[in-house]
A and B are shown apart, each in its own frame.
Chain A
């Protein structure tokens, strides 16, 4: 059985809540909340972290290495395929290749299945290279050409689809894979007990310090960017934007994820182990365990009615997209969805028969 850390559950719950609020308000009211761009990076970072803990638990239970790799690849492919199905049925067929977060996480899991034996330093190097390559590759691909009205559009040609997968989509491999890889590398340092590991020691402090330093670097880059030459300011940097994921944004969000994980591991995990905060820990655990399901269902719940109503009223499914209701109402609907989610999922309990996670285990494990 996989060991659970309340810190990871809590952060993943925060990430999913943030994404639900942002998606409801953006898609229903066209409003982007100030915390937009926080949830997805944290979610991707934690996917790497959880993969490490999950694979280590299998190693500890005596599973053969090849079997772990096979299961990992199957899980990765499942999530990748789920991402396509999600694009197809939720964002409708013309957006099937928009490269959402599920296809990214699926790809990351497949790659991590083969890269998990690499030394931690090599993973860090790959993460750093991905972050550095991203602006260069965006420049090569002419990123702006793929984005119209702040949304990714590509021709259905092999080159455009691959370029979207690699660099220009919503969540392309470059640079987003870096977060997953670095999440894995972070967990391999933080959640290892015993001599040499820092699980029980000051590992959280080092992680939090590194996270804080990265946040500081991001702030400094944002501050000095106006004073830098054009190619650097507009090419290598780019300000605080999620689309495209600029260097400052990625470094800042990576730092924030590391900082929050370090602090949560230090302050939340001991409380959870001592049986404190049972309600909060229980809710966070429920949302974390069902995070994939919540991610898919919250889109279905608010987009399908939108498409159906738009189609029935105007013949165009996206007619009311981003202008269906007010900001306040969209927040209220998001809150109601989250509340219903928690109540329903807690009522289902540990049986979990009707979830994407259960389906993944049934297919892959």
Chain B
């Protein structure tokens, strides 16, 4: 199960100075690689292009699409109050007046971070449904044969709790109602969340996390009960073996006496 870093992306951190320009775009267009707080390598590249843009340069599309991973889905355009945003999970282009670039960039980083978390949680769960199916029987009854799998189950519960905690941490922002009075940044963030269906995906991921957590929680409970019973059972067996030994010796002594 993939495990995202626990640091939620609320603000995003600038991790580096502007990297490069982009071929085919004016020199004022700069690309920055900005951390979205998921992990050391988790960042988003943002192309900031100040000014009024009636026509969108094709180079912007090409640049955004070039960075998109195969499993990331299509990128999309979003226009809002004279600002244009071309977004994909790993690259985003912001075409806006210079004084609006900063707030929009902050909103994009925040939502991208949340999207990255939800996306990673979704992928983690998607990859581990077969494991859940295999482990589900242990939620009802634990057995001797499964004792050696306790470490594995413990790790899975820990990871599920970790993922559930990540979703919980971003919930106050993702599920919060629109703020009033709205700002440009808040509206961009709301629109972006809407386009990414972030609220619905967050709810669905939380639901899945509940299923995983419940299952492994029950597995843990059953395993714990089993191990406690097993320890007592062993002690009982030691007593039984000792009693049986005494009984055997007594019977054998009687047998020997009978033979004489």
A194-B151 Cα distance, complex, nearest whole Å:
11
A121: chain B residues within 8 A (beta carbon): 234
A119: chain B residues within 8 A (beta carbon): 144, 230, 233-234, 237
A141: chain B residues within 8 A (beta carbon): 252, 256
Which of B149, B234, B245 is within 8 Å of A129, CB to CB? B245
8 extra A-B contacts, CB within 8 A, seeds A117-B144, A141-B252, A163-B256: A119-B234, A122-B241, A142-B256, A167-B252, A195-B149, A195-B151, A196-B147, A196-B150
B259 sits at the interface (CB 8 A): yes
What's the nearest-Cβ distance from chain A to residue B205, in Å?
A: 28
A122-B245 Cα distance, complex, nearest whole Å:
13
A163: chain B residues within 8 A (beta carbon): 252, 255-256, 259
185-221 of chain B: CB within 8 A of chain A: none
A140: chain B residues within 8 A (beta carbon): 249, 252-253, 256
Which B residue's beta carbon lies closest to that of A125? B241
Main secondary structure of the interface of A (DSSP, over half): helix
A197 sits at the interface (CB 8 A): yes
Contact yes or no, B245 A137, CB < 8 A: no
What's the nearest-Cβ distance from chain B to residue A197, in Å?
A: 6
A223 sits at the interface (CB 8 A): no
Which of A126, A136, A196, A197 is within 8 Å of B241, CB to CB? A126
Which A residue's beta carbon lies closest to that of B153? A195
Contact yes or no, B249 A137, CB < 8 A: yes
Size category, B interface? 20 to 34
A325-B253 Cα distance, complex, nearest whole Å:
44
Chain B residues packing against A (C-beta within 8 Å): 144-145, 147-152, 230, 233-234, 237-238, 241-242, 245, 248-249, 252-253, 255-256, 258-259
Which of B149, B230, B249, B255 is within 8 Å of A196, CB to CB? B149
Which A residue's beta carbon lies closest to that of B150? A196
A162 sits at the interface (CB 8 A): yes
Which of B144, B234, B249 is within 8 Å of A136, CB to CB? B249
A149 sits at the interface (CB 8 A): no
Q: List 16 A-B contacts (CB under 8 A).
A: A118-B237, A129-B245, A133-B249, A140-B249, A140-B253, A142-B256, A159-B255, A159-B258, A160-B259, A163-B259, A192-B148, A195-B149, A195-B152, A196-B147, A196-B150, A196-B151
Kindly name the residue among B234, B253, B256 whose own CB sees the greatest number of chain A CB atoms within 10 A. Answer: B256
Kindly name the residue among B234, B245, B249, B259 whose own CB sees the greatest number of chain A CB atoms within 10 A. Answer: B259
A122: chain B residues within 8 A (beta carbon): 234, 237-238, 241
Size category, A interface? 20 to 34
What's the nearest-Cβ distance from chain B to residue A157, in Å?
A: 7
Chain A 181-203: CB-based contact to B (< 8 A → 1; otherwise 0): 00000000000101111000000
98-150 of chain A: CB within 8 A of chain B: 117-119, 121-122, 125-126, 129, 133, 136-137, 140-142
Which of B148, B241, B256, B259 is within 8 Å of A195, CB to CB? B148
Which of A137, A167, A194 is within 8 Å of B148, CB to CB? A194
B151: chain A residues within 8 A (beta carbon): 195-196
A133-B230 Cα distance, complex, nearest whole Å:
27
Kindly name the residue among A121, A133, A159 whose own CB sees the greatest number of chain B CB atoms within 10 A. Answer: A159
Whether A157 touches B259, Cβ cut-off 8 Å, given contacts A122-B234, A122-B237, is yes
A129-B240 Cα distance, complex, nearest whole Å:
12
Contact yes or no, B255 A197, CB < 8 A: no
B144: chain A residues within 8 A (beta carbon): 117, 119
A213-B242 Cα distance, complex, nearest whole Å:
26
A137: chain B residues within 8 A (beta carbon): 249, 252
A133-B144 Cα distance, complex, nearest whole Å:
29
B258: chain A residues within 8 A (beta carbon): 159
A162-B257 Cα distance, complex, nearest whole Å:
13
A159: chain B residues within 8 A (beta carbon): 255-256, 258-259
B230: chain A residues within 8 A (beta carbon): 119
B238: chain A residues within 8 A (beta carbon): 122, 125
A126-B238 Cα distance, complex, nearest whole Å:
9
Contact yes or no, B148 A196, CB < 8 A: yes
A166 sits at the interface (CB 8 A): yes
What's the nearest-Cβ distance from chain B to residue A125, in Å?
A: 6
A117-B241 Cα distance, complex, nearest whole Å:
15
What's the nearest-Cβ distance from chain B to residue A190, in Å?
A: 13
A309-B245 Cα distance, complex, nearest whole Å:
47
A121-B259 Cα distance, complex, nearest whole Å:
35
Chain A 73-117: CB-based contact to B (< 8 A → 1; otherwise 0): 000000000000000000000000000000000000000000001
Which B residue's beta carbon lies closest to that of A193? B148
